[in-house]
Each structure stands twice: as C-alpha cells, then as structure tokens.
C-alpha cells in the first residue's frame, strides 16, 4: 500500500479497494486532505462536494464489504468539469450567468459514474462555458499547472488536467470541442481521450458546439482511461449524436499492443513545434517502432482547411447557443469569452453550410488514410505549457490547436505524455484511431506507457505551490 | 472578400453586429474588427462553387464517422 493512498492510479486504487486493503472512506479522507492542501495553489476545484463524497464513500464501503463490488470505479474519487450537470449540486459553467444554477437532474455521464459506485469529489474549473481562455474577471480563478503554477493548464478542461496531474484525483471528466480534453492532458502531462463522436452521451452537459462536442476522461495513465471508458461508453437515445454500437472491453484491449501495427505519422501537423517537443515526438515514434510498430509518413489535407471548417462550424453553433445572453446581458461574461462567442456573428449561413460540406470531405480523407494504417500520430501541442500571462486571449486566435482536425472528423484521439522538455514541462503525443476503435488507440498508448518511465515522475507540489504564492 | 477595402470591411463588420443585435464596447471595437477580418480571410477557403449532385450527401445532421471514407 502506498504511503499516500490519494496518489494511487485509478487501477491501483481499484485493486486495493477490491482486495479490501483500502477502504473507500480511507481513500476519501486522504483525497480530501490532499485537495485542502494543494488546491489553494492550483484552483482545480470550483466546488468540493464533501457531503456527497462522504455519502458515496460510505455506501461504497458498505457494498464492497458485503461483496457487492461493482467494478473498477467502485469507491474511486472523481471530479466533473463544471459544465456537467449534477443533481442538487451547483453547476456554474465557471460563469456569473449560472452562478446559482442547481440542476434537477444528473447528466447521463454523471449518472453512469454514480451507478458505477464512484465518489464524486466536486466540480472542476473550466474556461467559461468551455470556451474563451484563462480569465481573471470571473467568479473563480483560472486553474494552474501543477508542474509550474505560473503556467497554463491548457483548456478548457483546465481543472480536470490540474486535479489529475497533481494527484488530487485519479479521474476527472472533461469535454472536447477543439481539444479541450487533449490540451490540458498534454500541458499537464496526463492521459486524456476524446472518444469517437457519438461514443459517449452529452445529455445534461452544457453545449458549446453540438456537432463538435465530445466527453471523455483524463487520468494519470492510459490504463485508467480505458477503465473509465468501460463505464462511460454506450448508446443514449436522448443524445441525437449518440451511436448505437457495441462497446468493447477496453481493459482487455489494453493488451493489443502495437506489434505488427502500422502508425502513420502526420509530420505536417507538428510543423512549428519547439525543439524539445519535436525531439520528444521523434523519440516516441522510435520507441513505438522498437515495440514492433511500423512507422510511415502520412499526408492529410492542409491544417488550414480543418481550421476553416472548425471556425465556421464552432463559431456559428456557439453563437446560436449564446446569442440571447450576448444580446441581453453581455457584461456577465468574461471579456475573452464574450468576444470569442461574438465572433460567431461574423459567420454567415453560407459559411456554415460550406464548412459542413468541407467537413464531410475532410472526414473521408482521414478515413481513407486510416484504411492504410492502423493509427495516426502527431504532436498534441506544439510547445510545453506557456506562462499564464503569455496565453493569447484576443477575440480570435489565428491558428487553432492541432487537436482540432479530429473534432471536425470525429475520430477517437488520445493525448499522452511522451517525456519532459525545457523546465521539466510535459511533452505530448497524439494518437488517432479509426471510428469507434478507441480500443486500439488505448492499447497502443498503454504499450508505450509501459515501455517508458514517464509515469514515474509526478509534479513536485511542495516546490511548485510555494512558487505560486 | 479579397478585393474589399478596409472601409467596405468595416461597413460589413458593423452590419454583422447590427444584424446579430450585439454591441461591442468602444475600447474593444478595433480588436473585434481585426477578428472580423481574420475570420473572413480564414473562412474564404470554404467558398467553392456548389456541385448540385452532391447536395444530398452533405446536407444532413452531423453523425459519427463510419469509416466508409465516403
């Protein structure tokens, strides 16, 4: 047993809980202590739901003791990005507009985690309404990166990345419209998967862009993501984008490995990467090759086309969601959120339809590339985490993140740590699979993680927290 | 709008705001106008003549990819 049970991975905690060498209540107490100690420096939580967590943990303790173990999430603490509805627990979208919003029902994913016996620790910081950027004119401060609290976590699932990287939580849910799971996973050095569009229900989650929004887990390891996906994946008739397809055993698929697989490296997507990031990606590909994968180079349509389609679709759909509030009470948004949403007013109906038209072609092109290879690979980010004050908060960034193409196409995409660069900040690889083939993506990521030692290094919180003060 | 003058673009920008019914604070007007110009330039790549026979395949609700490479 670890000296600090709160630092266990999800898989490690699940083994100890099932074996009875750790109780959900002990794990909860250790987690609360960790959150109280570290969150004041990291701002990952906007709400600690301690009463609910105690009730969940005590119920899990009774059930497991009675031999009613529900699976690997039973008794395990988790957090939800604060755009995910929780019955009776405030859900603000990190915004003044919803500061008193207490949903009457759980989001579908919140119900799934509750039914799996998880222990809800609280609601996690996000960029306001999952868009905008880090802002200081909101009711809650922006989350900070555990590897260096002066630095950006990535977003918009900023609290999810910070909570997992710091070891406060083994599992946090995020949402991903243009990279909002994979970017904080990358900048914070954890694993995060955006499943295939349609794989995880979005019911009860505040929309940003209904045709681009995805939900998925952030965890310390790929194995933990696979265990979480086993609970989260599945058809939901109430989500019009949900896919009625069988869900594989993701945990069993972790043994797939990469031997004999072909991985297509999309070199053009890594253009402009910093030297340390480029070296980290090359080393990761070499490691995958050593594990038996065949690495080939693949060309996809130009990034500028993915970005143009993304801009038209995301801006138009986001504006539709927020138009009423942008007209009637714009002062309640943070400046960066308000301006980025207002950009949707500059997109015409023709732009939107042309964006959807191009999207079909781009999706077909990625499907075509994945007929010749098993997986695609690229960098997940171009540089390690920037300092918070250096993050672009202008109304429109010229270059969207390199995670965007797979929101446009809907393919499953994983970000995982592939080393540490300048200043000890995490580097990150993105692996992309065929539609609904999360299993192969997770299997490859797991094989890479097992072959490397990156998961043995955690942020040094004592030093980093002191630096933030 | 490759040949539009800055004056024309500003008129289009202001019309967009008026039609959308939103107000930009004066101290943020230039930043938003710059964003308008950037969006129009970026999205210009989308504008291609329509092939009438492709309409049914493209005008439908977004669905999960099926790998068919259609």
CB of A433 less than 8 A from some CB of B: no
When pLDDT is cut at 50, 70 and 90, the band that residue A317 belongs to is: very high
Query: From the CB of residue B31, how many other CB atoms can be counted at a distance below 10 Å?
Result: 16
Averaged pLDDT, A149-165: 97
A152 close contact with B: CB closer than 8 A:
no
Residue A451 has φ and ψ, to the nearest 5°, of -85, -10
Query: Cβ A327–B22 below 8 Å, yes or no?
Result: yes
Q: What is the pLDDT of residues A13-68, one digit of tens each?
A: 999 999 999 999 999 999 999 999 999 999 999 999 999 999 999 999 999 999 99
State phi, psi for B19 to the nearest 5 degrees. -65, -40
State how far the Cα of A57 lies from the Cα of A28, in Å rounded to an integer.
7
Taking the Cβ of residue A347 and every Cβ of chain B, the question of whether any pair is shorter than 8 Å is answered with yes
The neighbouring-strand residues paired with A386 are none
Interchain CB contact of A397 with B (< 8 Å): no
pLDDT of residue B64 exceeding 80, the answer is no
Give me chain A's average pLDDT, please. 95
pLDDT of residue A195: 97
Run of H or E residues at A430: strand A426-432
Q: What is the per-residue pLDDT across A76-85, written as a single tens digit (0 to 9) for each?
A: 999 999 999 9
B41 has a pLDDT exceeding 70: yes
Tell me, yes or no, if B51 comes closer than 8 A to chain A by beta carbon: no
Compute the average pLDDT of residues A7-16. 96
**Contact check, Cβ <8 Å, B22/A326:** yes
- Where do the domains of chain B lie? 6-47
- To the nearest whole angstrom, how far is the Cα of A368 from the nearest Cα of chain B? 5
Best mutation target among B4, B45, B52, B54 (most A Cβ atoms within 10 Å) is B45
Residue A469 has a pLDDT of: 45
pLDDT at residue B70 in the model:
39
Please indicate whether, in this complex, the C-beta atoms of B70 and A360 are within 8 angstroms of each other: yes
Task: Quickly state the pLDDT bin for B51 (edges 50, 70, 90).
Answer: confident
Over residues A352-365, the pLDDT tens digits come to 999 999 998 999 99
Asked if residue A463 has pLDDT above 70, the reply is no
Q: Do A311 and B63 touch (CB under 8 A)?
A: no
Select the residue of B13, B45, B69 nearest A364 (Cβ to Cβ): B69
**Do B35 and A339 make contact, defined as CB atoms within 8 angstroms?**
yes
The residue with greater pLDDT, A95 or B50, is: A95
Q: Give residue A400's pLDDT band: very low, low, confident or very high (50, 70, 90).
A: confident
| Residue A314 predicted with pLDDT over 80 | yes
Residue A402 burial by Cβ neighbours in a 10 Å radius (0-12, 13-18, 19+): buried
Secondary structure of residue A174 in the 3-state scheme: strand
Catalytic residue (choose from A7, A49, A156, A315): A156
Q: Which of A23, A166, A180, A270 is catalytic?
A: A180
ipTM of the complex: 0.90
Of B22, B31, B57, the CB nearest to A395: B31
Residue A465 confidence (pLDDT): 54
Give the model's confidence band at B4: pLDDT under 50 very low, under 70 low, under 90 confident, else very high. Answer: confident
B32/A436 touch (CB, cutoff 8 Å), yes or no: no
Residue B15's closest chain A neighbor by CA?
Answer: A346
Q: What pTM, to 2 d.p., does this model score?
A: 0.95
Q: What is the pLDDT of residue B55?
A: 59
pLDDT band (50, 70, 90) for residue A370: very high
pLDDT reading at A1 higher than 50: no
Interface touch A367/B67, C-beta < 8 Å: yes
pLDDT(B63) > 70: no
pLDDT for residue A31: 97
* A254 in contact with B, Cβ within 8 Å: no
């Amino acid at each position: 047993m670890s000296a600090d049970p709160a630092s266990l991975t999800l898989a490690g905690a699940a083994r100890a809980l099932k074996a009875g060498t750790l109780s959900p209540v002990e794990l909860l107490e250790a987690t609360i202590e960790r959150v109280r100690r570290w969150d004041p420096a990291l701002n990952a939580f906007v709400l600690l739901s301690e009463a609910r967590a105690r009730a969940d943990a005590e119920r899990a303790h009774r059930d497991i003791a009675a031999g009613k173990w529900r699976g690997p999430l039973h008794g395990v603490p988790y957090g939800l990005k604060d755009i995910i509805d929780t019955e009776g627990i405030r859900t603000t979208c990190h915004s003044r507009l919803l500061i008193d919003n207490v949903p009457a029902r759980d989001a579908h994913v919140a119900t799934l985690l509750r039914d799996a016996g998880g222990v809800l620790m609280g609601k996690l910081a996000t960029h306001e309404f999952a868009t905008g950027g880090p802002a200081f004119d909101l009711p809650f401060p922006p989350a900070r990166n555990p590897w260096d609290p002066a630095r950006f976590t990535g977003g918009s699932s900023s609290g999810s990345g910070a909570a997992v990287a710091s070891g406060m939580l083994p599992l946090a849910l995020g949402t991903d419209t243009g990279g909002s799971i994979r970017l904080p996973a990358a900048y914070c050095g954890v694993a995060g998967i955006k499943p295939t569009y349609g794989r995880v229900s979005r019911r009860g989650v505040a929309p940003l862009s209904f045709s681009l929004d995805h939900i998925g887990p952030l965890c310390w390891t790929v194995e933990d993501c696979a265990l979480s996906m086993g609970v989260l994946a599945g058809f939901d008739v109430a989500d019009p984008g949900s896919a009625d397809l069988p869900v594989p055993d993701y945990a069993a698929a972790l043994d797939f490995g990469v031997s004999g697989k072909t991985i297509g490296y999309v070199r053009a997507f890594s253009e402009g990467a910093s030297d340390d990031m480029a070296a980290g990606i090359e080393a990761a590909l070499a490691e995958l090759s050593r594990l038996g994968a065949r690495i080939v180079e693949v060309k996809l349509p130009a990034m500028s086309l993915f970005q143009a389609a993304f801009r038209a679709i995301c801006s138009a759909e986001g504006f539709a969601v927020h138009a009423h509030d942008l007209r009637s009470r714009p002062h309640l948004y943070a400046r960066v959120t308000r301006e980025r949403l207002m950009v949707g007013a500059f997109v015409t109906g023709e732009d939107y339809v042309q964006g959807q038209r191009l999207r079909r072609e781009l999706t077909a092109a990625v499907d075509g590339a994945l007929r010749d290879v098993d997986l695609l690979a690229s960098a997940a980010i171009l540089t390690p985490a920037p300092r918070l004050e250096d993050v672009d908060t202008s109304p429109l960034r010229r270059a969207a993140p390199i995670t965007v193409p797979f929101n446009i196409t809907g393919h499953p995409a994983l970000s995982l740590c592939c080393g540490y660069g300048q200043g000890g900040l995490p580097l990150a690889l993105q692996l992309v699979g065929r539609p609904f083939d999360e299993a192969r993506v997770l299997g490859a990521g797991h094989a890479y993680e097992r072959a490397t030692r990156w998961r043995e290094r955690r942020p040094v919180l004592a030093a980093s927290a002191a630096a933030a003060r | 709008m490759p040949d539009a003058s800055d004056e024309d673009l500003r008129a289009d920008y202001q019309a967009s705001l008026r039609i959308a019914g939103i107000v930009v604070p004066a101290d943020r007007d230039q930043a938003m106008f710059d964003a308008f110009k950037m969006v129009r330039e970026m999205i210009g790549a989308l504008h291609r003549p329509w092939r009438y026979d492709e309409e049914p395949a493209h005008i439908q609700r977004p669905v999960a990819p099926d790998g068919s490479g259609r």
